[in-house]
Structure 1
Amino acid sequence: MKRRNLILGALGLAGAGWLLRPADKGASHSEYFRSISGALSQSSRARPTLVIDRAAMRQNVRTLQGHLADRFAYRIVAKSLPSLPLLQEVMTLSGSQRLMLFNQPFINQVASAFPQADVLLGKPLPVAAAGNFYRTHQRTGGFDPQQQLHWLLDSPQRAQQYEALAAELGETLSVCIEIDVGLHRGGVSDDADMLAILDRIRRSPQLNFKGLMGYEPHVAKVPGYGALHGLAPMDAAVRKVRDSAMERYRHYLALARQSLGDDWPDNPVLNAGGSPTYQLYDSGEFPFNELSAGSCLVKPSDFDLPTLADHTSASYIAAPVLKAMDHTRLPIVDLGRLQSLWDPNRERAFFTDGGYWKARPVSPPGLSPNAIYGRSTNQEMLNGSASVNLAVDDWVFLRPTQSEFVFLQFGDIAVFEQGRIVERWPVFSVQA
């Protein structure tokens, strides 16, 4: 091949490669985020803040209620909504007093704030944590643990521990059994263990059987389901996994009924579901009588799932811009110009107050961390194109990937409604 042809071919490849460079994704805030920005500034907020859009959250509650209808009771997952005023809002809107909790400090706070609540543990706790609850519980508030608090057992050993604790405290404990319906993250997974737990409960004056809990988020995580939802074979595969989980649930339910006989409770707790799966039970007959959900009401980005397509995002992290630079500069070997030459979305650099949260930037569009510069919990660099019109003291918005841990990092939640910050909701204290 002639040298001239080689040169022309190389130039052609370079030109084709240039055409493949990233497009400019930058823009200014939408009217929606400009409205939240203005509300935050008018309320004198000047630090990273968790914002809840009250109207969007309320609509999500209505969406959930539309699916549950009168088929199942609703249990509110408190770890996903870790704020007493937020829980009160959801309890009022949904009409549910049933809560699911996951740690001892939160149980104490709920027992004090909501003496009418019915509390189911969402995971088995070390027996020492259960002991700490009783030692710190204020018994004058009206909350009756014997009737309203249901501890979770997952093995004969834990059942023995809780029985010993009850005897030590002189308490009677209401208990449910966690069953493994396919997630394989613990819970009873064979008949012998199930019968051993039930036998101990039946013989013990300290333990009262209340029901079962079978969590099955794996049903909505069939590989490829997110991309191929709507195709009959994929939807059929999800139903097959769901039905397999429900068969396991029915098996353990029948075993418990048979073992307990006349000791079977009048109003058992038969719990299942979660935000990713609750809509998979819109029709059909299933062995449980209540569904749990929490994250779908604020919808962090990990819950952008086919099963939650009719829920909307209702929570954001707002971070003030501390520094805004027209050009990205990197220390030691400054590759900033080279980066922006290839990718226009690396042109500008913005440093936010705080960062490195479990979250992704959503507004203004086109922002992203710089992998070469690195991440920071103190001042996070975000790159954007020249089309991003941000200045010092403006706000950047990120969407949390989850709520249960992230919501606890920012102090009081800012409640956005009709263009204003109308309330500030304290979050749970982990020191209770």
Structure 2
Amino acid sequence: MFHSKSLRIFFVVLLTILFVFFLRPSDEGSPYSGYFSKLNRELREKGFGKPTVILDLDRLDQNLKTLSENLPPPLNYRIVVKSLPSLDLLRYIIKFTYSKRLMVFHSGDLVMLLGDPEFSSFDILLGKPMPIRALEDVHKKTNPDKFQKIHWLVDTEARLTQYLDFAKKKNLNLSIVFEIDVGLHRGGFASKESSGTALDFIYKNQDHLRFDGFMGYEPHVASVPNLFGDKNEAIEKALLSSLARYEEFILEGKKSFPSLFEKELILNGGGSKTYRFYQKENRIVNDISVGSALVMPTDFDVITLKEHKPALFIAAPVLKKLEGTNIPFLEKLSFLFPLWNPNLQVTYFTYGGAYLAKKESPGGLFDNSLFGASTNQGILNGSRLTDLNPDDYVFFRPTQSEKVMAEMGEVMLVRNGKISGYWKCFIN
């Protein structure tokens, strides 16, 4: 009887142990890949021991080559400035692509570019409709002749009226491009009828307004639902539908106001996630905007950009390495944490943290949620397989490029895994 009872207890304990064992988190840690191991050695020897944004020029070159191959003439490439906030980086891209077309999203950037002799002659299109106060501020701070070359994006008749009143007051002739809704539903003229009303407004006020084209942004097509079949085919089909809608605005405008369509207009579209589809069956759009695809933050990890390589990283030095995960007020129990979860075997404190980025290398690092995020000292946990020591670096990939570049103020250039220089960034 006793033996039978002991056996049952033994099996219950064994099953409990097995159950816990299978529920126990697996070890997700891994050391640097070869690429980041080489970067870490370079930073330990020649870096400045502070958080750094790294731009891999070899990968940037690859991405530029891929871009150029997928945007053949007569398609015009327009550089998205907000995603590439460095004059040196812009110059590098211009030299490679020969593009002299920019898309600008911030009034401060606009003032800076118009004040630079190299960029002031470029064809500049606003990427979003600007409040009238922003337009007034740009006018106040720039040369009037250069100001009148800017293509201002307009989304409503109300904004068009504001711009007209300002143009009359200052005796200007403003270039206007209409934002049209081709399926994203993020604003802009939603129908050919509303666009027609705005065209009529310009037609009657040509002393102060001139119509220079359309902008139809369509990143939604890259997220088209596709349960079965080929994803690329689904995207192409969705893009053709978007272009058909785009064409309706053009045809209606030509029909009602032919004189406004006699010159070559800006017919802007595209974006990083969709640009490569415009080389096929596109007879509508002639001006394609791309920025983030050249540096590949994680928000752009989509099937349409699988040929592009991540070129931008954040490197944060490790300040401290502690065994285990010791939580305040739970010191006596903290030894249990790594026994349960091997990814709590080590705690690292990094110089800086709370980046708008995802951990890239070593593998398996994660934020300590109990300590919380800190922009001063990041707190990361990992298994011993991460194999970091003080003065090593944790590498992150930004989710977006513009914010981290502006925050850091400069980017470190890397060529063949070696530091080759620095470029200053500007704040949007």
Calculate the TM-score normalised by the size of structure 2: 0.92
Q: Deviations over 1:342-387 (max 9, x none)?
A: 2212110111111111111111122111222221111111111112
Larger Rg: 2
Asked if 1:123 is matched to 2:128, the reply is: yes
Asked if 1:256 is matched to 2:246, the reply is: no
Q: What SS is found at the alignment partner of 2:254?
A: helix
Deviation at 1:79?
Answer: 0.8
Deviation at 1:299?
Answer: 0.2
Deviation at 1:271?
Answer: 0.5
Superposition RMSD on alpha carbons, in Å?
2.1
Q: Is the 8 A contact 1:336 1:346 kept in 2?
A: no
Partners of 1:418 and 1:239 lie apart in 2 by: 36
Unaligned runs of 5+ in 1: none
Asked if 1:301 is matched to 2:298, the reply is: yes
Which range moves more in the overlay, 61-70 or 241-250?
241-250
Q: Is the 8 A contact 1:316 1:400 kept in 2?
A: yes
Q: What SS is found at the alignment partner of 1:79?
A: coil
The match for 1:395 is 393
Which range moves more in the overlay, 90-99 or 263-272?
263-272
Partners of 1:86 and 1:92 lie apart in 2 by: 10
Which range moves more in the overlay, 169-178 or 412-421?
412-421
Q: Which amino acid aligns with 1:161?
A: Q
Q: 1:251 to 1:381 in 2, by over 3 A?
A: same
Partners of 1:43 and 1:206 lie apart in 2 by: 56
Q: Is the 8 A contact 1:74 1:292 kept in 2?
A: yes
Partners of 1:111 and 1:296 lie apart in 2 by: 25
Alignment of 1:168-179 (within 5 A): 168-179=169-180
The match for 2:359 is 361
Partners of 2:323 and 2:74 lie apart in 1 by: 57
The match for 1:21 is 24
Q: Which amino acid aligns with 1:361?
A: K
Q: What SS is found at the alignment partner of 1:299?
A: coil
Q: What SS is found at the alignment partner of 1:32?
A: helix
The match for 1:72 is 75
The match for 2:211 is 209
Partners of 1:266 and 1:420 lie apart in 2 by: 49
Q: What SS is found at the alignment partner of 2:349?
A: strand
Alignment of 1:50-199 (within 5 A): 50-113=53-116, 114-138=119-143, 144-147=146-149, 149-199=150-200
Q: 1:286 to 1:11 in 2, by over 3 A?
A: farther
Which range moves more in the overlay, 26-35 or 54-63?
26-35
The match for 2:335 is 337
The match for 2:220 is 218
Q: Deviations over 1:107-152 (max 9, x none)?
A: 111222312311111110101111111111146xxx73323x1000
Q: Percent identity?
A: 38
Partners of 2:186 and 2:37 lie apart in 1 by: 43
Deviation at 1:217?
Answer: 0.5
Q: What SS is found at the alignment partner of 2:381?
A: strand
Q: Is the 8 A contact 2:24 2:341 kept in 1?
A: yes
Aligned length: 420
Q: 1:9 to 1:321 in 2, by over 3 A?
A: same
Deviation at 1:241?
Answer: 2.4
Q: Is the 8 A contact 1:123 1:152 kept in 2?
A: yes
Q: Is the 8 A contact 2:192 2:248 kept in 1?
A: no
Asked if 1:412 is matched to 2:398, the reply is: no
Q: What SS is found at the alignment partner of 2:412?
A: strand
Q: Deviations over 1:294-330 (max 9, x none)?
A: 1010001111100000000000011111111122211
Q: What SS is found at the alignment partner of 1:405?
A: helix
Calculate the TM-score normalised by the size of structure 1: 0.91
